[in-house]
Every structure is written in structure tokens, then in C-alpha cells.
Amino acid sequence: MQVTDNQLKFIDQYLENSGIKYLDIRYEMTDHIATALEEKEGVFYDEFQAYMVKNKAELLSSAKKFSKAATIRAFKMLVKGLVKPQFYIVATILFTVALLLNQRGYNDAVFTGFTILYFLLCGVIFSSYVHMVVINKKPEWSGVNRFHYAAALTVYILFLAVKPQTIFTDDIYLFLYYAVIISFVVMIISSYLKLKKMYKLRFNE
């Protein structure tokens, strides 16, 4: 049988009513169930009921597996962003502007600007998480939550904990380092927006 969009929504609603609160886990589970049902020849609702009677307990207990799959999908999206021209364009622009300002004697201003830009971008990530969890009170994205934590930890290590000033003695290398890190944060935000858009289009939310 061919599973329709309305039937996909029905499966998603069933999983939500069964206690699966994260949208991306339901996304993975819905695809898993739909794939199994498409191998059947009967009526959708009859086949769905029979499938859930047999597999519901095991399916719901494997939520962690689906959460891991959603997390991997989120990071694959980020990795794809890092090999696209946009990442290198942003890094090149930041590095070029830093060099031009340095040549004019604004060396301290360059580092101040990098720091401010970094914290502004991190503020965007933090505010999006607060809006999702505190204001909407709907932590819908398991993959995005883990994505937030891992990305924030990575950026913290690369920008603050590593202390690149002690590693790079030449300002040019420092400029390049900061340009790449800030471009990385931009890609994190871009990946988050794409991931959210993908889910919204998938379930028309």
C-alpha cells in the first residue's frame, strides 16, 4: 500500500498520544512504521492496528535509538554545511576585514569585534533554545537539543577554553582562527533553521 500524508499525520498523532513528545523521534518512528506498512496489502487502519498490537511495546522502548538517529541526522546537516561555499565565504570575508583593519592600526578593535560577534551569535542559539523550552514550553526537538549542547561545548572549547592567543603568536593566524570559529557558529545556526524547517514541512506545524 501507499501511505498518504494524512495517514502519516495519523501515525504521528498516535505516537504523540502514546507519550512520544519529541517531534524528531516521532519523525523517525513514523517513517519506520510507514515503511513497514507499505509492505502490506490490506487497509491502512487495519494493518496499522495489527502492527501496533504486535510492535508497540518494543517500538516505544526503542525511543533512544530513534533519538540517536535524529541526532546523527542533525550533525550530518552541519557537516554538509561545512563543505559548502557559504562557510568559506563567511570565513574569508571575516578574515579579509580583520586584515584590512589590522593594516590601519585597529588591531585591538578586531579582537573586540570578533568577541562581540561571537557572543551575539551564541546569544541567537541560546535565545532560540529558551524560546523553545521556556516560552513555548515544548522541547520538541530531541536532535536539536543534543545538537545545542554538543555544538555549544565544541565552540566553548575552541573559542574560550583553548586560549588560542597562547598557541598562535602571529595575529594573522589568530584572525584566521577566529574567522573560522565564527563561521562555524553561523553554520550551527543555519543547520538549526534547516532542521526546524524540515520538520515543519514534514508535519505542517
- The residue range of the domain holding 169 is 82-202
**Total tally of structural domains belonging to the chain:** 2
DSSP string, 127-168: HHHHIIIIIS-----HHHHHHHHHHHHHHHIIIIIS-GGGT-
Q: pLDDT digits over 3-24, tens only?
A: 888 999 899 899 988 888 777 7
Task: With beta carbons less than 8 A apart as the criterion, state whether 20 and 32 touch.
Answer: no
Question: What's the CA dihedral at 88, 98, 160, 166 to 10 degrees?
Answer: 110
Residues 88 and 189 both lie in one domain:
yes
Of 24-33, 92-101, 124-133, 177-186, which has the strongest mean pLDDT?
A: 92-101
Cα–Cα distance, 33 to 19 (Å, whole number): 16
Q: Which helix (H) or strand (E) holds 8?
A: helix 5-17
Does residue 77 sit within a domain? Answer: no
Same structural domain, 92 and 186: yes
> 25-51: per-residue pLDDT in tens?
888 888 889 999 999 888 998 999 999
pLDDT at 91: 92
How many residues are given for the chain? 205
**Averaged pLDDT, 144-165:** 70
91 and 58 part of one domain? no
Looking at the structure, tell me whether residues 110 and 59 fall in a common domain. Answer: no
Confidence (pLDDT) at 141: 67
Give CA separation, 109 vs 172, 178, 184, in Å: 14, 14, 21
Between CA 110 and CA 187, with CA 158 as vertex, the angle to 5 degrees is 80
Tell me the average pLDDT across 147-171: 72
Between 183 and 197, residue with greater pLDDT: 183
- Rounded Cα distance between 96 and 104, Å, is 13
In this predicted structure, what is the pLDDT of residue 35? 92
How confident is the model over 95-108, as a mean pLDDT?
Answer: 89
CB 30 within 8 A of CB 15: yes
The answer on 103 and 55 residing in a single domain is no
174-181 average pLDDT score: 88
pLDDT for the residue numbered 138: 59
Does residue 65 share a domain with residue 24? yes
- Grade residue 133 by pLDDT with cuts at 50, 70 and 90: low
